[in-house]
């Protein structure tokens, strides 16, 4: 692969529902351009795009893959993305390059959930869009029906390239001079038509519909020709960014401009090692370039620069603005970072990845591998920012989090394959809290005499509920019953007890403690003695003040298509949830506002996907703690006591 000038480069992201033939289309394009001699099959694990061991064994795409196609003097940089929803982050990062989107559709299945999700992504990114109807060779294929579905669903901007009347009107609307010619009934020249069509596509006013069969090769030439002609060139638009003062600027895609490189994907490639997919936003990139990362505030001296096609690589000496390359072994750079000249710093917008919504608790099968397990998962999160490792200090559990069970299963499989570490999924614990509903007045007395200096501390403390989250401590001592220099030790003893309550060993909150009396010994009293006395008073006082367990309540926002609102609302009461209200969301969905106990939501990502045919989504944030129902509290306390007996 040679370096191409900016005007000969087209960047294209392929989106669509799983199984519509995205990977096979690239095989057909490679066969058409004689890069390969026979069509690879996903089922056989011999395609150029799905080359990773895990993808071959699973039979579907997991990572985005860069597959350039050199066609009639134009370089089409295709970024193939997974169709399964758990890997949506791959499509999001690919679209962040400013590429044109292809939404691929099965000619027999028509619009599917993945089609709608792809559409929502391209609309959010304002990406120029093509629809390609694939698998026209199938027996039950109905291209015209799918074309009608597309127009009805996504609007009149969807047009086939043989619909001359619709195209002429759309082309005319892209330019005032062309509009005048259109109204005067004058025909467009071929150049005017092509330029107007390209403008309309770039603006999103025209979304061409093409059809083909990857399997037979019918229509592949037409698709490639159309993409070469009508996909906007990289220099057709400006890239928004911020300068070193935080001011908004726009970067021109100019090979003569200041060098700016945008990293949109990190990958621990089994063949190439740790690599970064990057777009040259401006300037000309050459081997050995010394660039600066404004986020990490560190420099990166670029070693190997290479063009990749699936797992194959070819060293690149010079890469012009607009092209996409792979960079080897960047040390201080992650997905979404910008590399630039240190004296002319710029930063492109960060990628808005979806937050994890599905969590599972894991433990290393071999306890000696716990630290290695964590390090391995952290490296995987660098490849996929929608995946996270969370260490919950309160429950002492390690959680992995992502978009769904498929993604988390893949991450566990990758950990085993790469690091030889097996993990077990274990029940997830909840960070319960303990508090009191009543009051108590107790004495804590510690006396120890064993020859020589003894220990003596005696405190009288009133306990009651507090509005403060932690411990509200005060003293009402009189007459020197407890010397002032021991009061801090009493408070410290109480604070240490707040970490582990008497009911189930949970953190204690909302406690008021008033030290009002006590006694001391001239010789045997010391700070340690009063700390112990305070802890004795705490345990007794909390136990006598109607203690209870609290559970975390989560605030939820659930985006649901209208037809599934009833099912979702009906499910929430079964989870002890309360619907607080409902608004209109983007895309015509309803946005439900609800509050639900955290312990009822461990499987919600899977359940919502099932209830809404994968069209629903939700966000979570902590709201507050509320009392855990008695029957559930009894089970938690019983389990805690049983664990103490085992120890």
Nearest to 4 by CA among 48, 85, 70, 103: 70
Average pLDDT over residues 385-393: 93
Higher pLDDT: 647 or 316? It is 316
* CA distances for 87 relative to 15, 326, 349, 408, 640, angstroms: 12, 21, 21, 10, 38
Given 3.30.70.240, 3.60.10.10, 3.30.465.10, 3.90.1660.10, which CATH number is that of 549-631? 3.30.70.240
Given 3.30.830.10, 3.30.230.10, 3.30.1600.10, 1.10.10.10, which CATH number is that of 434-545? 3.30.230.10
Superfamily of domain 358-426: Elongation Factor G (Translational Gtpase), domain 3 (3.30.70.870)
Cα 557–Cα 553–Cα 354 angle in degrees, nearest 5: 40
**The CATH number of domain 239-347 is 2.40.30.10:** yes
* Pairwise CA distance, residues 584 & 198, whole Å: 35
Tokens 């420099």 -> residue: 299
The domain locations on the chain are 6-236, 239-347, 358-426, 434-545, 549-631
Given 3.30.930.10, 3.40.630.40, 3.10.20.30, 3.40.50.300, which CATH number is that of 6-236? 3.40.50.300
CB neighbourhood size of 382 (10 A): 14
pLDDT of residue 2: 72
- Which phi-psi region, left, alpha or beta, contains residue 646 (left: φ > 0; alpha: ψ -120 to 50)? alpha
What is this structure's pTM?
A: 0.87
Contact between 143 and 133 under an 8 Å Cβ cutoff? The reply is: yes
* CA distances for 530 relative to 303, 341, 447, 460, 470, angstroms: 64, 62, 10, 11, 21
Q: Which two tokens stand for residue 10?
A: 């087209």
In this structure, the dihedral spanned by the alpha carbons of residues 30, 31, 35 and 41, taken in order and rounded to 10 degrees, is: 80
Same fold, 358-426 and 549-631: yes
| Residue count (the chain) | 647
Contact between 197 and 230 under an 8 Å Cβ cutoff? The reply is: yes
Tokens 């499989």 -> residue: 413
The tens digit of pLDDT for each residue in 180-204 reads 888 888 888 888 888 888 888 988 8
Q: What is the mean pLDDT of the chain?
A: 92
Residue 311 has pLDDT above 90, yes or no: no
Residue 352 has pLDDT above 80, yes or no: yes
CB neighbourhood size of 596 (10 A): 22
* Pairwise CA distance, residues 97 & 475, whole Å: 63
End-to-end CA distance of the chain: 65
pLDDT of residue 647: 66
Contact between 338 and 297 under an 8 Å Cβ cutoff? The reply is: no
Residue 365 has pLDDT above 70, yes or no: yes
* Pairwise CA distance, residues 552 & 35, whole Å: 57
């Amino acid at each position: 692969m040679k370096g191409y000038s900016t005007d000969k480069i087209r960047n294209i992201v392929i989106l669509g529902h799983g199984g519509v033939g995205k990977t096979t289309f690239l095989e057909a394009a490679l066969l058409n351009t004689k890069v390969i001699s026979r069509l690879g099959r996903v089922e056989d694990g011999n395609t150029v795009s799905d080359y990773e061991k895990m993808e071959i064994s699973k039979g579907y795409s997991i990572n985005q893959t860069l597959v350039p196609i050199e066609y009639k003097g134009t370089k089409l940089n295709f970024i193939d993305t997974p169709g399964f929803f758990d890997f949506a982050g791959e499509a999001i990062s690919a679209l962040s390059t400013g590429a044109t989107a292809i939404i691929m559709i099965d000619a027999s299945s028509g619009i599917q959930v993945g089609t709608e999700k792809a559409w929502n992504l391209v609309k959010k990114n304002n990406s120029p869009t093509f629809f390609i109807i694939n698998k026209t060779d199938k027996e039950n294929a109905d291209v015209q029906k799918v074309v009608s579905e597309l127009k009805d669903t996504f609007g009149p901007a969807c047009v086939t390239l043989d619909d001359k009347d619709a195209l002429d009107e759309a082309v005319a609307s892209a330019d005032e001079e062309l509009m005048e010619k259109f109204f005067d009934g004058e025909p467009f020249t071929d150049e005017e038509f092509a330029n107007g069509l390209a403008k309309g596509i770039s603006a999103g006013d025209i979304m061409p519909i093409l059809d083909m069969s990857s399997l037979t090769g019918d229509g592949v030439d037409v698709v490639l020709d159309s993409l070469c002609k009508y996909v906007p060139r990289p220099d057709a638009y400006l890239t928004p960014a911020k300068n070193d003062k935080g001011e908004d600027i726009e970067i021109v895609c100019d090979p003569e401009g200041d060098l700016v490189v945008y990293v949109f994907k990190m990958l621990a490639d089994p063949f190439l090692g740790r690599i970064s997919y990057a777009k040259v936003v401006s300037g000309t990139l050459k081997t050995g370039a010394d660039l600066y990362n404004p986020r990490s505030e560190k420099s990166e001296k670029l070693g190997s620069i290479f063009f990749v096609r699936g797992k194959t690589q070819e060293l690149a000496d010079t890469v012009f603005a607009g092209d996409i390359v792979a960079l080897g072994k960047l040390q201080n750079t992650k997905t979404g970072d910008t590399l630039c000249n240190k004296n002319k710093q710029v930063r492109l917008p960060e990628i808005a990845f979806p937050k994890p919504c599905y969590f599972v608790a894991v433990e290393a099968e071999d306890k000696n591998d716990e630290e290695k397990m964590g390090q391995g998962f952290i490296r995987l999160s660098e490849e996929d920012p929608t995946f996270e490792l969370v260490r919950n200090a309160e429950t002492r559990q390690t959680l992995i989090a992502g978009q769904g069970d498929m993604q988390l299963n893949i991450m566990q499989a990758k950990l085993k394959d790469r690091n030889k570490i097996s993990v077990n999924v274990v029940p997830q614990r909840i960070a319960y809290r303990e508090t009191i509903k009543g009051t108590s007045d107790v004495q804590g007395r510690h006396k120890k005499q064993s020859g020589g200096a003894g220990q003596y501390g005696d405190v009288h403390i009133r306990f009651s509920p507090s509005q403060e989250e932690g411990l509200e401590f005060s003293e009402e001592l009189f007459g020197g019953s407890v010397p002032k220099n021991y009061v801090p030790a009493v408070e410290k003893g109480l604070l240490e007890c707040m970490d582990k309550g008497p009911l189930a060993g949970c953190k204690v909150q909302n406690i008021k403690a008033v030290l009002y009396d006590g006694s001391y010994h001239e010789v045997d009293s010391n700070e340690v003695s009063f700390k112990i006395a305070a802890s004795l008073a705490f345990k007794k006082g909390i136990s006598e003040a109607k203690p209870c367990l609290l559970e975390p309540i989560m605030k939820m926002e659930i985006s649901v298509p209208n037809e599934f609102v009833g099912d979702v609302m009906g499910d929430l009461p079964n989870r002890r949830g309360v619907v607080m209200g409902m608004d209109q969301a983007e895309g015509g969905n309803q946005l439900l506002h609800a509050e639900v106990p955290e312990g009822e939501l461990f499987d919600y990502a899977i359940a919502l996907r099932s209830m809404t045919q994968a069209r629903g989504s939700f966000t979570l944030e902590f709201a507050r703690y509320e009392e855990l129902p008695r029957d559930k509290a009894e089970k938690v306390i019983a389990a805690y006591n049983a664990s103490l007996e085992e120890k």
